[in-house]
Amino acid sequence: MSILIDKNIKVIVQGITGKEGKFHTEQMINYGTNIVGGVTPGKGGGSIMNKPIFNSVEDAVKNTNGDVSVIFVPSNFASDAIIESIFSKIRIIVCITEGIPVLDMVYIKQFLKGKKCYLIGPNCPGIISPGKSKVGIMPNSIFRKQGNIGIISRSGTLTYEAANQIIQKGYGISTAIGIGGDSIVGISIKETLDLFLKDSETECIVLIGEIGGQLEIEAINYMRSKNNVKPIIGFIAGKTAPKGRTMGHAGAIIEKQIETAQSKIDIMRKNGAYMVDSPEGIGVMVDKILHDSL
């Protein structure tokens, strides 16, 4: 099984005629994702890669019944693109764009309340369920085997690294989701963890976090409250980062002691997560836990 996406989704690409949009649309099509059309204002009525182009998400939904959108538009237009998809009742919105102003995301988070919609991102690699669909920029060559391991990550490159190790050990991925590295993102680690806990075919969850914020702590406390029996393998990036300095992602800045890597590691380990000291240990730990449980 998988979470959020499957082979039946209908994907609309916002910014399909741009360089990034065009390239990654082709990659998604090659992976088997059902791309039903794209949106570029002013270019409606045309086509690209045999996919129709529309002037608005509303027109695209009306003509294709699209229920998922992926956004490849510049940061100064991205918040409007997200809101347009919400208004058009898109079920899952994946925003790849980085550099969206924090105040814009504060407004979008408020606007999302009560809506039947998940926003993944911004500044994220997207979501992928091997053998079913990919919505985003994750490399096709790595995510080639279905399985029972779920991945939640704030880092794109570490998502790929974890998936590669897991597959090298002979296991497969149910779904991998990169929630984004900004200080304010759509779907949280806790919400994603809840979806994996409810998925009958996900037996083990890899959680890759970073310094800054308390998303990982909220998620692990939630896991404890649900008496979770699924093993959680955790890694927190940024052990050597100094306090008060942004490291890589906009959200990776330590403001409180509890937001340091070591504090998060200690709290997660105390609450039952199997923590690894480096990304290279993820595949080994997955193998150990699943092998021991056989």
Of the residues 124, 156, 174, the one at which a domain ends: 124
Q: Confidence class of residue 256 from pLDDT cuts 50, 70 and 90? A: low
Quote the distance between the C-alpha of residue 241 and its chain's center.
24
Residue with tokens 């989701």: 177
With a CB cutoff of 8 Å and minimum separation 6, the contacts of 66 are 10, 11, 12, 36, 37, 60, 90
Q: What is the pLDDT of residue 261?
A: 82
Whether residues 197 and 290 fall in one domain: yes
Residue 190 located in a structural domain = yes
Whether residues 180 and 275 fall in one domain: yes
Residue 34 located in a structural domain = yes
Pick the range with the lowest mean pLDDT from 93-97, 222-226, 243-247, 276-280.
243-247
- pLDDT > 70: percent of the chain: 91
What does the pLDDT look like over 160-197, one tens digit per residue?
Answer: 999 999 999 999 999 999 999 898 999 999 999 999 99
Whether residues 149 and 287 fall in one domain: yes
pLDDT, greater one: 2 or 227 = 2
What does the pLDDT look like over 43-70, one tens digit per residue?
Answer: 999 999 999 999 999 999 999 999 999 9
With a CB cutoff of 8 Å and minimum separation 6, the contacts of 161 are 279, 282
> Alpha-carbon distance 293 to 174, whole Å?
18
- pLDDT > 90: percent of the chain: 76
Determine if the peptide bond prior to 122 is cis (ω within 30°): yes
> Alpha-carbon distance 133 to 116, whole Å?
21
Q: Averaged over 201-209, what is the pLDDT? A: 94
With a CB cutoff of 8 Å and minimum separation 6, the contacts of 165 are 279, 280, 282, 283, 284, 286
Q: What is the pLDDT of residue 15?
A: 98
Residue 130 located in a structural domain = no
Active-site residue identified among 249, 259, 275, 285: 249
Q: What is the CATH number of the domain that holds 41?
A: 3.40.50.720
Whether residues 96 and 168 fall in one domain: no
Whether residues 231 and 293 fall in one domain: yes
Asked whether residue 203 carries a pLDDT value surpassing 60, the answer given is yes
Residue 60 located in a structural domain = yes
pLDDT, greater one: 292 or 3 = 3
Asked whether residue 134 carries a pLDDT value surpassing 80, the answer given is yes
Residue 257 located in a structural domain = yes
Q: Averaged over 24-33, what is the pLDDT? A: 98
- Asked about 249 being catalytic, the answer comes back as yes
Whether residues 43 and 176 fall in one domain: no
Q: What is the pLDDT of residue 249?
A: 54
Q: How many domains does the chain have?
A: 2
Query: What is the chain's mean pLDDT, rounded?
Result: 91
In this structure, are residues 162 and 280 in contact, taking their beta carbons and an 8 Å threshold? Answer: no
Asked whether residue 117 carries a pLDDT value surpassing 90, the answer given is yes
Domain of residue 101: give its range: 1-124
